[in-house]
Amino acid sequence: KQWYQRRVREGLLHRFTYLLHLYRADRNKWDQLKGFYELVGQMLARSVLNNIPLDLNLPEYVYNYILGGGKKVLADLEKTDKALFNIFNNMTDEEFRSLQCPFLETIINPYNQRTVEVPLKPIYDPEEFVTDKKGFLKLKARKTLYEFPKEELDAMKEGFRKVFPLNFRNFLTPKELGFLVCGQSELNYQDWRECAEHDRSISQTTKSWFWECVRSFTQEDRRALLHFVTGMSTLPFGGFSKLPGAKFKISEKFADVDSCLPTTATCFNTLYLPPYSSEEIMRKKLLIAIRYGSKGFTFG
């Protein structure tokens, strides 16, 4: 799980943020890239099949595209780049015309980091300015969301369908597919505690202090704790009872008590806690471990 999550975050899907800003004329290695994006689609499908959520934040329109849904251009732009949409949408028509916007999109090529101006129309006239605000937003959305990254999106869709050849559009919405891929990010304290297992070696005091720490943690720190112990930052569909591999488990770590940090066995979703001398020390050690020691095999 931990290796899988790390490869997704660091080696693959972090590059998807560039999909909205591609300039096709500079890409000479599409045969290699096509395989990469097919793999992304397959990993999305595998996350659903294996019930192992991915730590992603893909736009909803991507899931809609994979499912073969129709394009809702303005709605997709609003969800993907709400700040940009609101800036233009809140302008009066007169204010928009005064900007004298050309039919150009300024983008950054992710393959060489150069800024490039791409025409939004097949025939571009530098003396022509946009006068229709709504039409401009539709044109911009259609180009940046669908036309520029079309081959990448098609490759992702093809990769997804290789794992799931069925037509999911009949019984899954894009939002539901996104939930199955990304999992549940809101971690409920009561559900967590009820579904956890406690080793016989752990004392009642240590157990009580630990759950008081979890109860007081922010959602961000709870996700960091979950990731530290399981290798996942979100929960699969079904919550804590559906954690892959094993239930969340707390066991005692016999060590030089207050000087040691907690350790984990992510393959077994097990947290090893030293019997600290106070709840405050436990909280301090837990926060150090989950904030600085939850990124794979990089902390000692």
Model pTM?
Answer: 0.74
Pair of tokens at residue 268: 């077994």
When the pLDDT of each residue in the chain is averaged and rounded to a whole number, the result is 82
pLDDT value of position 25: 43
All residues at 6 or more sequence positions from 84 whose CB lies less than 8 Å from its CB, including other chains:
77
Pair of tokens at residue 243: 């954690």
The HSE-up count of residue 170 (CA atoms within 13 Å, CB side) is 3
Helix/strand/coil for 33: helix
Do residues 222 and 246 lie in contact, with contact meaning Cβ atoms separated by under 8 Å? no
The pLDDT of 140-156, averaged and rounded, is: 84
How far apart CA 4 and CA 148 sit, in angstroms, is 29
Condensed to tens digits (0 to 9), the pLDDT of residues 157-172 reads 999 999 987 776 677 8
pLDDT value of position 21: 42
Going across the sheet that includes 270-273, the strands are 197-198, 249-252, 270-273, 263-265
Confidence category of residue 3, pLDDT binned at 50, 70, 90: low
β-pairing, 270-273 vs 249-252, is parallel
pLDDT value of position 82: 86
Please name which of 295, 264, 222 lies closest in space to residue 5, comparing C-alpha atoms: 295
Active-site residue (options: 182, 195, 213, 267): 267
Confidence category of residue 11, pLDDT binned at 50, 70, 90: very low
Pair of tokens at residue 280: 């405050």
Is the pLDDT score of 175 beyond 80?
yes
The amino acid at 101: C
Q: How many CB atoms lie within 10 A of CB 15?
A: 12
Condensed to tens digits (0 to 9), the pLDDT of residues 129-140 reads 777 888 888 888
> Is 213 one of the annotated active-site residues of the chain?
no
pLDDT value of position 213: 97
Burial group, residue 71, by CB count within 10 angstroms (0-12, 13-18, 19+): middle
pLDDT value of position 127: 65
